[in-house]
Amino acid sequence: MVTGGTTGEAAAEAARVLALLVEGGATVSVAESLTGGLIGATLTAPAGASAAFRGGVVAYATDLKAGLLGVPADLLAREGAVHPDVAAAMARGVRELTKADYGLAVTGVAGPDPQDGRPVGTVHIALAGPGNRIRHCDIVLDGGRDQIRWETCRAALSLLRGVLEANMGEHSG
């Protein structure tokens, strides 16, 4: 298990994200694949998380991405589960399902083996927000399975924090 830096960074990022969500009166839900609930667990660790965290879906199996989150079956058949458009559809789906202001989704390959022709460390992160606006972050990570999962968690929370900070800047000037 990874200790120290990566988990600590994710926890600190989660605390910042929750503070921004509460300050803005917004909510978030998560759709997770390779992280298996790690983002939801990290977001709910700080006291008071219920003021901004609506819930999450762990859609580890490909068929659940379609069945629970509304990812188009033809997209999954054509591209596989590890694709930026799949992450975007997951983010939209969890946002709609939970009636959250933001839907944050991750899909990728934590290892030890490649998946859908994608190498270990391939990660796609998407955030669906107000106005159906989608932001993407596609990354390639090194390291073992636990390190890839924790770094994905931190990167996803960082994407959300950046969007929240930008949105607050738009409304404060």
Looking at residue 4, its pLDDT comes to 38
Pure H helices in the chain: 5-24, 38-44, 62-69, 73-79, 84-98, 145-172
Tens-place pLDDT, residues 13-32:
999 999 999 999 999 999 99
Looking at domain 5-172, its CATH architecture is: Alpha-Beta Complex (3.90)
Q: Are 141 and 152 in contact (CB under 8 A)?
A: yes
**pLDDT tens figures, 35-64:** 999 999 999 999 999 999 999 999 999 999
pLDDT recorded at residue 1:
32
Residue 138 bridge partners (DSSP): 124
pLDDT at 168: 83
Which of 79, 85, 120, 121 lies closest to 105 in space, CA to CA?
85
Q: What is the pLDDT of residue 8?
A: 87
Angle in degrees, 0-180, between the axes of helices 145-172 and 5-24, rounded to the nearest 10: 30
Rounded to the nearest angstrom, the gap between the alpha carbon of residue 102 and the centroid of all alpha carbons in its chain is 10
Per-domain boundaries in the chain: 5-172
- Report residues of the chain scoring pLDDT below 50: 1-4, 173
CA–CA gap between residue 97 and residue 131 (Å, rounded): 16
pTM: 0.94
CA 98 to chain centre: 14
**pLDDT given for residue 35 in this prediction:** 98
pLDDT at 3: 36
Residue 69: name the closest of 128, 26, 148, 154 by CA: 128
